[in-house]
Structures are given as structure tokens and as C-alpha cells.
Structure 1
Amino acid sequence: MKLKQLFLGFMIASTLSSQAQNNSQKVLFTIDNKPYYTDEFKRVYNKNIDLVKDESQKDLNQYLNLYIGYKLKINKAEVLGLQNNPKYLNELNSYRTQLAKNYLTDTKVTNELVQEAYERSLKEINASHILFLVDENALPADTLKAYNKAISIRKRILNGEDFGTLAVQYSEDTSAKENKGYLGYFSTFRMVYPFESGAYNTPVGQVSPPIRTRFGYHLIKVNNIRGNRGSISISHIMLLKSDNQETNAKNKNRIHELYQKIQQGESFEEIAKQFSEDKSSGPSGGRMGTFSSGELNSEEFEDVAFSLTPENALSKPFESSFGWHIVKLNKRIPMKSFEEMEADLKSKVSRDERSRLIQSSVTERLRKNYKISTDKKAYASLAKVFTNSFYDGTWTSESVKAPFSEVLLTVNETKFSGRDFLEFIQKNQNKAIEIKPISNMLAVLYEQFTDQQLNVYYNANLEKEYPEFNHIMSEYRDGLLLFDLMEKEIWEKAKTDTLGVQAFYNKNANQYQWNKRYDILVVSSTKEAFIKKAQKLLKKGKTAAQIKEALNSGKELEVIEKEGIFEVGSTLLPKNLQDKKGVTSIVKEGDYFYVSRIKDILPAGPKTFQECESKVINDYQQYLEENWVSELKKEFTIQVNSDVFEQVKTEIKS
């Protein structure tokens, strides 16, 4: 079973919906006496069965076998201690944090953010920025230092110094050395929310005050604002840039030859299939997916594409940082209405940094739902350690010698001490540094502390409050463990076990075969007269360059060639090739005439190890996995409750 299929069967789905389950739990099977229950098996089967393309996996007996194999691997991962790997724990925690945002929702706040996002999406901002890095959880002194530096540079800009020059000199965005802080055009959701807000709230030609994001402080200069250009569907032909200057010169000349062929009426799509070096779009006639401004990594490509109109739908050849292109307009898609975009915007808002605003609203709900109490005596005792010296910015929680270990705050059954509050103040004192008198400052910080602990408690108990959240986290947790285990036990071994890979190839060499191949020069043209001339030149032994020079001497590009070794079945070969060296007869396919010179015919036969190494390694990985599961079944004791499984099959089928 391939790894992708495994993850398809057991990794979480993108939706949070879950099917109703029978609340009764029965032990379906055990692994070393660890029980696995029917409700989980039925839930996973029902959720994923429509995604499974292999019909054999829909068979419940086969599915149970796969499911047990999956759980065996998780048990093996735990035996190896992979669940304690810091990288694994960090990734799991990061995912949980992201997933939890879906539960921090407030309809009113969400709708306001969605409306704001739509209104902003109607415009595209062209901006530059200067970044002053500071960690999101940096010490107050470091945060203040970055802020003051941003203020200082902004004053210099307002006094007339060049923004781009200062960006090169001071920005801690590494790309600024080359682009002078230039970001190009973007719209909503392309930048982190505070940065987006800073850009949309800054007039054209002006520089924002320091804008705080999780990366640090930014100075944002808005260069221009234009209406959203909508989306566009295009096709393109691309010849890639190379480190070889001779190849680049050839491709630059070739793109103009291809353009001339299109101008002569030849099919854009056919030329793209034959010559475009964009592997993702070339085989489909150059067609790319729909995109809008800022989604590609080439502003010059986007600008050319969006300049096309139905009346002028084909670009001239042009160069980008990636290569040389010809672009053809397929369709322009204008901005959708709010009603059409609302659902998508809500989804984006829930995943965006805007969700913090929603979380603030949720906090108010938590205050109403949870039992919160403060020990007033402990609070009064703690308040005495603060004096006006706190405003100097030098205060630390360690300077308070009293332990303050008694309970200060209680959220339901969870308790927080005075020392917890002192440490919170240490981390957050800069947020309330200007609040006076000291008693008011302390009250504000305590409210913030309470809000934080409410959310800490809420997040810690999401698995208890929301069964579907618990299911998703359990599946993701296992999925990560499985990935790490496969990397350790299968993938790395297959890459490094050179003797094993070679032995596997030797044993299965008959599976790695070439079809018959032709070492061939193919010349094509839409005009039969010119292909006949090409045929005569081929019979005289002329090279591709000599044929092109002889037949493309006029204003129009009459013939074009491709040369190399191609396997039978390749789209680059003309159909119905004869099995004889020499010049072929002329054949016509669609609008094109073809003639070829077959230099050699390479018979079908085995591939050398070097010719199929990557395929051998992939097959070896699959072989190792299949045998590994068999070994795991020997390592662990498995007991299946057959009677319970029969009940499960009846319930699922009904």
C-alpha cells in the first residue's frame, strides 16, 4: 500500500463535520492488550470511504486489516519514543493552535471582518516596506528598541530621505538589499492582518507609523492604489532560462520563431504541447490555472497577462526572471459580488490573524460561562509589592522575593497562583506601562491575566467540550507520528541502503524495461510543399540548422524541428513510424505535415540501474513497507473480537 493512500485513508478531512455515531463503545481489537473501539473504527471508515478509490479497501475485512496495520505502526512509533521528539511536539502544538481558531468564533465580529475584507478586496495596494525585526514575545526593552529605531527612520523619510535607500540600509527583510523594500501589488489576505490594515489605512505617497506584526515593526509606504483587476485565465509558452548562455541565446531566438509560427496561423496549443518547457502546462496546450494579482512570483508576467484583451489576446514574446514567454488570454473574470464571495471570505477570516479579534469577543462569552473567583486577600498582598518604580521599565518578577504561591485566581477547577500573575506581568508590562496610578495599572494587567487564563483553560479543554475536535486531534497526532516513523524506518533506509536497492533491482530487473526508441530528427510544417523540400534536404544528409536556414529564409517561419531519442508512445514522435533507418515518408497529423530522419532504432530492453534509479527506490520503499507490516504483526500481540466485528459490519451496511 502506497504512503499517499495510507494518509488518504486516515489523515483528517478538511471539514470539521463528523457523522453521528453510536455512543456505545465495544472493544474491536487489542494490540498488546491496548483496546481499540468500534466507534472510532466506524467513524473513520464512514468518513473516509467515499475518498478511497481502491475498491478493495472498501471491503470491511480488508479495511480492518489496513486499520490494524495503521495502529501497529502507531504503536511502533510510541515504542521508539517518537512522540517525545521536540519537532513532533512543536508541530502538533502548532496544528492544535491553528485548529482551535475554528472554535473561537463570534458571528457579529466575524461578519464585520468579512465585510471589511470584501471592501478592501476591491482595491489593490502597491507598497514598499522597511522591517525592524523583533520577536513576538521579545522582552519589553528589545521591543522598545525596535520601535524607537522605526520612529527614527520614519522621521528621516518625512524629512526627505529616499525610502528605498533607507530600506537597503536598515530593513531586516533580506530581500530589501535587492528590491529596496518593494512588495508590488497585493490585496486582502496576502499579508498578515496588521500589515494589511496599515497599508489600507495609509494614503498614497505617505508612510505609515510603525506597524506591529508578529515579525516586528514595519514602515509601510503606499506607492499606488488601483481597482482590483479580478482574475484571469491564460495559456502560455515558456522557454526556461539556463546557466548556459548559449542555451539562453537559443531560447531567446526560439521564442520569436514560435511567435512567428502563431502569427502565421498555426495552433497556439499545438506549439505549446511541442515546445513549451513548462511541464505543468505544456502538455495541456499551455493552459494555466486561474490567478489574480500577486499570486505569481513574477510581476512582469502578471502585468503582460492582465494587459491582454479579447481584441488583443496574444502577447508578443517577453522575458521574465524565469525565462521567455508568449501569453494568450483565455478569459477575464471580474470581481465577484459580496454574496458570491461571502462563504469563501468567512473561511479565510477564520484562518487569518483576524481570528484574534474574534477570540476577544469569545473571551467575554467565557467570562459568562465559566466560574471565576479571585482571592481578594492574595490580590491585596500582591499589590503591595508594586510602587511607581515599576514605570522605570526595570522591574522583574524575580525581584519579588515573597513566593506568592497561594491561589490568586480560580477558573472552574483550575487554580493560578500569585506567582503566575507576577510572571505574566513580567512578560506584558510594556502593554500597560503608561497606565497610572499603579493600582489602575495592576487592575488592567489582572484583567488581561484573567482573560489569558480563561482562554488557556478553554483551549486546554476543547477535547472535552467538542468531540469532533478530539477526533481530529487524535487523527492528526497519529498522522504525524506515522510520517516520522515512515521517514525513519522506510524512506531514509531506502535512500541510504544502496546494496539493498541494487539487490532489489537485480531481482526485479524485468519490471524496468524500455519500449522501443528512436534516435530521430523530426521536421514539421503546416505546408506540404515545404515539408517535401525538407524531405529532400534530409535525404542529402543536411542538419537541422541547415534545413532551417534553407527553408526559413523568407519572411515566414516555414518549418520547425525537434531532435533526440524518444520512446514509442511519446507525444513528440509522429505516428506510424517505419522500423527502418533513414528518411521517412511524409505523414499528416491534424494541420501538420511531418518528415523524419531515423538515425537509429533502439530495441526494447532492460533499463540500466542508473536509468531507473528513482523508480527503483520508490518500489523498494513499497516493498520494505509491505514486509515491515508483516514483521510488526509478529512483534505485537493482536486479538480481534470476531463477534463484535460481525456486529460492526451489520451496523455499517445498514
Structure 2
Amino acid sequence: MLYKFLVVVIIVSMLLGCSPKVSDMVVSEFKGGKITLGEFEKAYSKNAGSIENAKDDSSAQMKKFLELYTNFRMKLEDAKSKGYNENQDLLDELLSYKKKVGVSYLIEKEIVEPGLKKFYEDRKTEVRMSHIMFGPVDDSFDKAKEKAEKVAQSLKDGIAFSELARQYSDDNYTKNDDGDIYWITAGQVIPEFERVAYSTPVGTVYPEIVKTNFGYHIIAVTDKQPAKYKIRASHILISFNQDGTVDTNKAKEKITDIKNRIANGEDFAELAKQFSDDKSSGVNGGDLGFFSRRMMVKEFDQKAFGLKVGEVSDVVKTKYGYHILKVTDEQDFPPFEKEKDKLRELYKKSRYDFEYKNYLSKLKSELNFKFNNSVVDFFVNVADTIKFDEKLLQSKIFNENKNKTLFSIEDINYNVDSVVTFAAKEKNFQGKVINHNNSLSEAANLYADQKLIEHKAMILDRINPEFSDLMEDYKKGIYIFKLQEEEIWSKVQVDSVDMQKVYDANKEKYSLPDRVDFGEILVKDDSLCIQFYNSLKSGAGFDSLAKTNTRRAGFRNKSGRHGWVNVENNELAKKAFELKNEGDFSEPFKNRDGWSIVKLNAKDFARVKTFEEAKAEIASELQEQQSRRLEDEYILRLKNNYNPVFFYNNLENAYKSN
């Protein structure tokens, strides 16, 4: 008995082992190709928007798509038979697209996306920093650097950072606070400071002197902690100005009394309504709404962000007076997907340039980049007056040395000619002497940066499946476009005789609704509108008033004229259509954008279009009819040539695991 059971198990195992995977099942085949269930599922879910959407569709919908997709695949087979894969114009278009899209793809996927995610995560931590700034001395950054280096040595010799900040810092806003910049998070300070903030341990000084547009800086990180996204707080303000005079003692007595009443259980919001000198928030119980770090003055901010929800502060003194704060709510950081679009611009301003340069440095190593400094040095020594212009291209020095290699990427050399041609087209280099401020070296490096990322883009489809699929889709797209052009669009012909016949047989189909040509003067308030109305009644020109006064965007240069508008679709047009005679203007009336006066220029009552007016519409209809007929004829030829066979039953296994 056991023997028979084992034999059955073995036979079943063999049968299962021989069965094809569900994804390998063929759902259609034709001369030269086949479509598996796996390929169908991928195409169908992409068309449906997602796998989840695709799973909800009926078998009839899937069957219809399979037929359309098989037509698509037969067209691609037809494109191959026509030699599209060897057509030089199409190959050139593909290469151009690969370079252009590849560069954008690399920047987005390799730099921006990971950079944005890190930027988002970094914003969940706030950093407290201090600095000692050394501004340019007599416009000299070198002197500022020398001064910074001396102070940095004093730090190493044991002199306190706070003492040096007070004595030497040129930042008058922070020097008296020991150089304290206060709490910051990603996107709130200049990029140079931000990089230091997140890379330096608490309680240490960044080991290098940092250069910015403001000068040189010695930077210390004094604290780090989890950041709060936003808090909601209420406050009671008692101003120093009491009864028309500044009286800090009276203000202090008043705020102290309020603080005691809160401690004894009185309602914070009611006391704010009664006593707060900040009337705009006082009427709302002192509520300030949600705000983020650094939106309030430092003393207020520091106390508010140190409180837990429900806690009430001690008395806080600011330049506005004395405050009592109460935190009433706190918002968590939104999910990355919800925040990323808002953060993108902030990231581009603060981190993108630095991370782009880092990425290029990586590419230089990866792609075996080599730079020939000796060629640059040669030109710097001999070309003391030659500029990036046509004269350079004609000079003896250039023509004798234009084929020398300036840099190479893998096995591709880029010579002097290519760099100079690039620089001559760039505004930043036009007219510059090539040996001035390292102009040639700068141009070569800029050109090299461009070529590095282009080179990576050109090999991206070999190493990145997602980009490879993108390129394959584009290739199929241009093949289909060329097929449609050859087989259908180029064969569509519409002449005026055919159009006239259609028009004569279907005149009533081509009609125009009530239309009106009118002008408008739009202003913000009714009093100004009435003023213009009275001016019009006194004989002022409507067009001239509209040209200088209408507030509707883009209409001043048209003297307020809207042109012909369908009456049924526009409230302004309805008002104009109600006017009796051409040249009449309405009384002022309110609309969603303000107050308006409209003038009737002309009316056109509902009517049948003339042949000339209907020509474009008729031509479009005839083109569409012919295109459908030609498409049907082409598909029929494909079916006759490729003999498609469908296995609809296998669609029942769609989106089911093996």
C-alpha cells in the first residue's frame, strides 16, 4: 500500500514539474511572436493604472485588451520587417532621446530622490549651532581667512569659544550671545552651515574653517534634539506700554497677577480675552494657530517649543512685553509622499548643487575620468590675450593644438577643439581671455561635467532595468508613430468637394449658439466702479478707461475686449447680451472677481454656420472617418500576414500566482 502511495506522489510531482508556470502560458501567438500571460499582465496593469485596478476588471475587458495588444505587437513585427531597427533617422532619434531623458532620469533617481528623502529625515532633527564670523577685510577674503586661522589656533590653545565669539565675531546679531545661531533644521540656513550642522557631533567644533559668501566661519554644534513639526499655542501679552506710558513694573505686576489666577484654576482663554494686549489673538482666547520653529521671536520660540501639550509657561519677557504661553496642540511630520513636492524647491536651494557636484565626483572615479592639466598650462602660458571667440578658432596656436586631448572619459577623448567650441557658445565665457581666472580650465571642467553625466546616460539602459524598459517603450512608440504615418495619416485626403457635400447634407448639425462681442472694465470695489460709470455717462471713452484701469489679468493691452464669447457659458457675456444697442454699457454689477461694467460691441444670434465657418469641423470629421477606415484595413492586412491565434481560456489565470 505504501509503495502504491509513493508511486502516485512521484507521478503527480513529475506532472507538476512539467506544467508550465502560469506566467509562461501563451494567451496569443502570431507569425514571428507570442504573448505570454506574464507579458499580458504587465501591459494590462500598466494600462489600468495598477495591478489592483486590473484585478477588478472583467474577463470581457481583458479579452478586448488582448486583441488590441496583439494588434500592437503585430505592428511592431511589421516595423521590424520594414527595417525600422536599421533606419538611421530613427536610431538617431533614439540616441538623442536616450541622452536627454537619461540625464534627467539620472539627476532625479540618483541625486534628487535620495537627497529629498535624507532632507526630509534630517528635518526631523534640529541642531543648535554657534559661529564666529570673519567678514572680508578691506574687501579681502584672504585677510579674513588669516584672521580666522589665528582664532582657530586660539581655540586649540584652550580659549573658550564663547569668549572668542564675543571678542572677534563680525556677526553683530550673534556675537553677544556667544555666537549662538539658535536652533535650526534642514532648509533654514545657508547650505554650508547645514552640512556642518548634520555632520558635526554635539559639543565639538567643526575641524575646518568654512567659507561662505559672507566670509569665513568657525562653527560649533552645541546641541541636537528631535524636532517638532508644528505646535499650536495661545498667549496672553501684557505690553510694556501701560496707559500711554512705558511702565515695565506695572506690566510685570499685571502679568504676575494673571499667572497666579491661572495657577488657581481660572480659564486661560477667558483671561486672554479679558486682559491680553494682543487683541487679534485675544478675541480667540489667545490662540496663535500652528507655527513652526523660528517663526516667533527667540525668547517666545524657545519657551513655546520647550513645553508639552497642555503646559502653561512662566512669565516670558520679549521686546513686545510680558507673555504667558500655553501649548494646546502639536502636529506630527506629514508622510514623505505628502511633503516631498513642497520640500523639493527648498532642497534644490539648499543642497542640490553640493550633491550634484558629489555625484559628478563619483562618476569621475567610476568612468575613469582623466584631465590633462599640461594642455591647459600650455594655453595659459602662450595665449595671454586670446579670447573665446571666432578669432581664437582662426588663430595659429589653436589650430596647431586643437586636437590635443583635454580630458577623457573611459576610452573617449575630448580635445581642445570640442571644449573651445562649447565655451564659445556659453554666455559665461564669450569674450573672456582664455588664461584669465582659469577660464579655459573652468570651461573644460564644465564641459566635462556635462559629458560625464551624458556618458552615464548612454550606458544606463544596460545597467538599469527600469530605464531599459523606458527606452524600449519609447522605441516602440516611435516605430508605431512612423507606421501610423506611413499606413494611415499620409493616406488621408480631404478635399473641398467632399466637405461641401457633407455640409449640404448636414447643415443643421453645424450651428452657433448666441454669441456676443463685448468689453469690460473690472475694478476691486463698487465706489470706483460707480466713478467710472459716471465718467462713461459723461462721455469718456470705454476703451481708454479699460486700457488703463481694468484689473482683469491680460486685458489692459486689449482695452478690456473679450472678443466673441458664447453667451451660455459666461455670466459677463449674458450681461452684455442683455444690452440693446451696440455701444451700450451696463450699470456696475458685482461678480466673483470684483465689480464690472460691460459694453456691447456686437451680437450674433444662434444660427447655422456658414460653410467657411464649418470647414475646419467637417475636415476633422472626414479625417477621423478616413483614419478609422485605413486603420481597419491595415489591421486586416496584419491579420492576413501574421495569422494571430488567441487562447482566451488562459486569461482566467490572470493575476493568480503559480
Q: TM-score, normalised by structure 2?
A: 0.44
Q: Which has the higher contact order (CA 8 A, sep 6+)?
A: 1
Tell me which structure has the larger Cα radius of gyration.
2
- TM-score, reference length from structure 1: 0.44
